[in-house]
Structure 1
């Protein structure tokens, strides 16, 4: 018989695993756990999960010193990633080999067998980066063979840049504000390269379950399939490979799975009242997906899809919040115990933002 858990218990464990209770030692630990953090709201998302949040701009500092990198990954957007784990997710995103599609070959006039030589030129141009994309355009023009592609860099075409990012040739420069620049991921001392796909896939499955479990194969389809276009057949194969190391649990009648090594810790978790204020598109919501009613009740899904900032009560989105003047306005009604937790969270938010804030409820 599968071990039984309550939903509140499972979410309480996940809050701790994602560093929303207790806190992590540094930005890289946060991002390694979550896999990737959207650049939108990244400083608040990361600093809220640190044991010692420090001053605003921690993500920017981590990008500058190479503890984090910034690149195209999940859902085609720009994400902050940990250099030691980014390669596994990029391997999954590159697996579809989009540049070999007939439409790509015809539009960009580059045959699949020419990509290794093209990538070599690009890697050479960014090796001493960060450089402006025009520097890559100049290198392509100088070699003539790929001169027709220079405009794709001179006036940066993100669609064309993405395959170079997925294959580990480039990352975006560290500055979150200002002109776009490109550099080599190897500029980050912890960059671990792009592992073989048959290693990257099972690793990504296990990492997801460790951070977002208890979960199902459908959640994995959304995160690695919808997020990285990893392909359902591959995901089913990778799940089968790691399944001997998983344990099935019964969460109030619903079947979900955990990494077996985590089962005792989850079973021993004792829920406590928690109210957490997170930025829009936070991984707490995006990891399981807005269709997961454990975290996002149906009445909150539209707001979460549009990127509203969630008020999370005991792991569940209860409403949204915004800072207005010197107050934090919530759209949801809270009971007495939640109000006390919400006031503590507003105080924490004020510290993160460097200002005095008070709680305002409907």
Structure 2
């Protein structure tokens, strides 16, 4: 009998959180190179560069400020618009897995997108071809790229959107592998192509070909999870539900169904015994802003983040606050105030002072600081 047809293994959320903390190198920081950490996390959100650096540094046994920037400079990791339309640092393998599934949404064909950003599908296709030609064998700043595009009258009406730092018109191009971020020139962003930046780049596969690697990578860090949770993380639910469910079902015996306190979800079959054997343990961790630990499952996951405190973490203008994580659950937030690390706990939670001080010391090391004193906000 195939494993998927057997009675589902039953685990608790405490086991799941303990397992995820280890898989994501939070409770067990890795003596690994940056690409290995980025690969395990299915990318690191890089809208805020300092937050991405913190996420990587906290997961390394010996934190090194600026290590992600170094990796980006070599092509071992690439920055591009990916999941949910946000900037991510991805390995080349991660880009090949996730970008085709973002392109599969074809959000630029939706009337609401066309109305908001002023381009038809045919114009996006023309823009994709033009950018590929303009960036061939070179990197250009945003200003240089826009100037080159606006030399063609066909793109004049897109001028304002092309100049926008939000990059709405450029995101579909990134998802199709036509451009990515290049090395920064001081404070100026540059764009190039993956083929120019990444040694041996083979281009993007078709979505159905990319899906197995994408699904299994996600479940290897954030599982057990449902197809709906996966696509909420990937595309904010913009892929067709039957298609996403098909990606899961096509994996067959590579996936197994798990019950978490009665809730059914999927996990890689190779990880089932490992998760079932987990013994939950008490822990305190401090994670930075926009950390993958919350972005992977999403801020709507009420097992991870109490609904009453979602607004404390997911704030205005899309800001995701730094996290206090107790026993795998989000129990507060923190911020820096000079040499002080000020914590704001939820519902009177009181993490052990010694463990909190140890976690603060890791934050200081990740940020290249001499030390931080924990205080209440």
Would you call these one fold, judging by a TM-score over 0.5?
A: yes
Distance 2:168 2:34 in 1: 28
**Residue equivalent to 1:36:** 43
**Are residues 237 and 82 of structure 1, via their aligned partners in 2, closer, same or farther at CA, if it must alter by over 3 Å?**
same
Kindly indicate whether the alpha-carbon contact (under 8 Å) linking 1:223 and 1:287 is maintained by their aligned counterparts in 2.
Answer: yes
Distance 1:213 1:164 in 2: 30
Distance 2:246 2:148 in 1: 41
Kindly indicate whether the alpha-carbon contact (under 8 Å) linking 1:83 and 1:190 is maintained by their aligned counterparts in 2.
Answer: no
Question: Bigger CA drift: 89-98 or 145-154?
Answer: 145-154
- Please tell me whether residue 281 in structure 1 is matched to residue 290 in structure 2: yes
Give the gaps of 5 or more residues in structure 1: none
**Residue equivalent to 2:3:** none
Kindly indicate whether the alpha-carbon contact (under 8 Å) linking 1:137 and 1:149 is maintained by their aligned counterparts in 2.
Answer: no
**Are residues 17 and 108 of structure 1, via their aligned partners in 2, closer, same or farther at CA, if it must alter by over 3 Å?**
same
Superposed CA offset, 1:79-135 (max 9, x none): 2222221122111111133444567779857663x7666433312322333212343
Kindly indicate whether the alpha-carbon contact (under 8 Å) linking 2:194 and 2:201 is maintained by their aligned counterparts in 1.
Answer: yes
Distance 1:13 1:111 in 2: 43
Distance 1:4 1:96 in 2: 34
- Please tell me whether residue 309 in structure 1 is matched to residue 322 in structure 2: yes
Give the gaps of 5 or more residues in structure 2: 1-6
Aligned Cα root-mean-square deviation (Å): 2.7
Superposed counterparts of 1:341-352, under 5 Å: 341-352=355-366
**Residue equivalent to 1:226:** 236
Superposed counterparts of 1:201-280, under 5 Å: 201-226=211-236, 229-280=238-289
- Please tell me whether residue 126 in structure 1 is matched to residue 135 in structure 2: yes
Superposed CA offset, 1:28-80 (max 9, x none): 112212222222210101111112222x2112111112122111122222222
Distance 2:34 2:70 in 1: 10
Superposed counterparts of 1:318-333, under 5 Å: 318-332=331-345, 333=348
Kindly indicate whether the alpha-carbon contact (under 8 Å) linking 2:84 and 2:235 is maintained by their aligned counterparts in 1.
Answer: no
**Residue equivalent to 2:80:** 71
Superposed CA offset, 1:165-194 (max 9, x none): 111111123339612221111212264521
Superposed CA offset, 1:175-221 (max 9, x none): 39612221111212264521111112232222211110122233223
SS in 2 for 1:276: strand
Kindly indicate whether the alpha-carbon contact (under 8 Å) linking 1:125 and 1:135 is maintained by their aligned counterparts in 2.
Answer: no
SS in 1 for 2:130: helix
Distance 2:171 2:262 in 1: 42
Distance 1:77 1:9 in 2: 30
Report the TM-score, using the length of structure 2 for normalisation: 0.85
Kindly indicate whether the alpha-carbon contact (under 8 Å) linking 1:247 and 1:260 is maintained by their aligned counterparts in 2.
Answer: yes
Report the TM-score, using the length of structure 1 for normalisation: 0.88
Kindly indicate whether the alpha-carbon contact (under 8 Å) linking 2:85 and 2:235 is maintained by their aligned counterparts in 1.
Answer: no
Distance 1:19 1:190 in 2: 29
* 1:13 CA displacement: 0.8
Kindly indicate whether the alpha-carbon contact (under 8 Å) linking 2:304 and 2:328 is maintained by their aligned counterparts in 1.
Answer: yes
